[in-house]
């Protein structure tokens, strides 16, 4: 398995490694502003790499792992991600829109302001991550366990959260127009900022008595 450590790499370097076939590990490498568009990378591991403003639109990433990478502004628009793991990375303000994501996990990541709208996701896992003020319109997390995720201020328009379970999450001040929550368990979510007029967006979801009391309190009613 080729392992490259603490090197500054260009697209030519990446293409040469990809042509060799087999898994590749890049540790502590610098790839700021690199162009990885349209490349096919299988079983690569990016560990503590710098990928600031890297461009990987329409890339095919299969069984790729990103761990502890610094990648704000990363562009993955239209990329295909299959069995990928993104752990402890900063991809804030990245463009991850229109991806096809199958069996992909984001855990303990900083994803502030990320654009994931239009992404077609199957078996997408979000855990322990900050997605505040993100654009996630149309994303499906149907039936998923969503744990420790901050969606505060995010655009969740047309998202599918049916039968999802939220634990230790924030949905404070989110935009949920045309989103679906039927069968969702929201008892572990902070619904602060949700106005009584918006409560219908959560029709069919389960909430706690205290959450119901907060909503009814806006009408001056008290739950006994």
Residues 190-207 have pLDDT tens digits of 987 766 566 677 888 998
* Euclidean distance between CA atoms 215 and 202, whole angstroms: 12
* Angle, vertex CA 183, rays to CA 166 and CA 126, nearest 5: 30
* Euclidean distance between CA atoms 29 and 46, whole angstroms: 8
- CATH assignment of 3-217, given 3.40.50.300, 1.10.357.10, 3.40.50.720, 2.160.20.80? 2.160.20.80
* Euclidean distance between CA atoms 30 and 51, whole angstroms: 7
Q: What is the mean pLDDT of residues 6-34?
A: 95
Number of residues that this document lists for the chain:
224
Q: Which CB contacts under 8 angstroms, 24+ apart, belong to 192-201?
A: 201/176, 201/177
Q: Output the pTM of the full model.
A: 0.91
Provide the 10 A C-beta neighbour count for residue 5.
11
Indicate the range of 28-32, 66-70, 169-173, 212-216 predicted with least confidence: 212-216
Q: Where are the domains of the chain?
A: 3-217
Residue 211 has pLDDT above 90, yes or no: no
């Amino acid at each position: 398995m080729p392992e490259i450590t603490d090197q500054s790499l260009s697209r030519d370097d990446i293409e040469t490694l990809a042509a060799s076939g087999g898994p590749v590990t890049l540790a502590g490498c610098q790839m700021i502003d690199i162009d990885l568009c349209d490349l096919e990378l299988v079983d690569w591991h990016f560990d503590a790499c710098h990928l600031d403003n890297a461009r990987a639109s329409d890339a095919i990433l299969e069984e790729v792992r990103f761990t502890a990478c610094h990648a704000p502004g990363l562009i993955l628009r239209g990329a295909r991600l299959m069995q990928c793991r993104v752990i402890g990375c900063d991809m804030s303000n990245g463009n991850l829109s229109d991806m096809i994501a199958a069996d992909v996990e984001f855990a303990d990541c900083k994803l502030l302001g990320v654009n994931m709208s239009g992404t077609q996701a199957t078996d997408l896992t979000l855990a322990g991550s900050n997605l505040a003020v993100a654009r996630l319109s149309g994303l499906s997390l149907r039936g998923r366990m969503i744990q420790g995720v901050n969606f505060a201020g995010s655009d969740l328009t047309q998202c599918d959260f049916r039968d999802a379970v939220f634990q230790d999450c924030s949905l404070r001040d989110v935009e949920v127009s045309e989103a679906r929550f039927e069968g969702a368990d929201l008892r572990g979510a902070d619904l602060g900022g949700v106005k009584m007029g918006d409560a219908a967006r959560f029709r069919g979801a389960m909430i706690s008595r205290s959450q119901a009391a907060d909503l009814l309190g806006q009408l001056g009613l008290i739950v006994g």
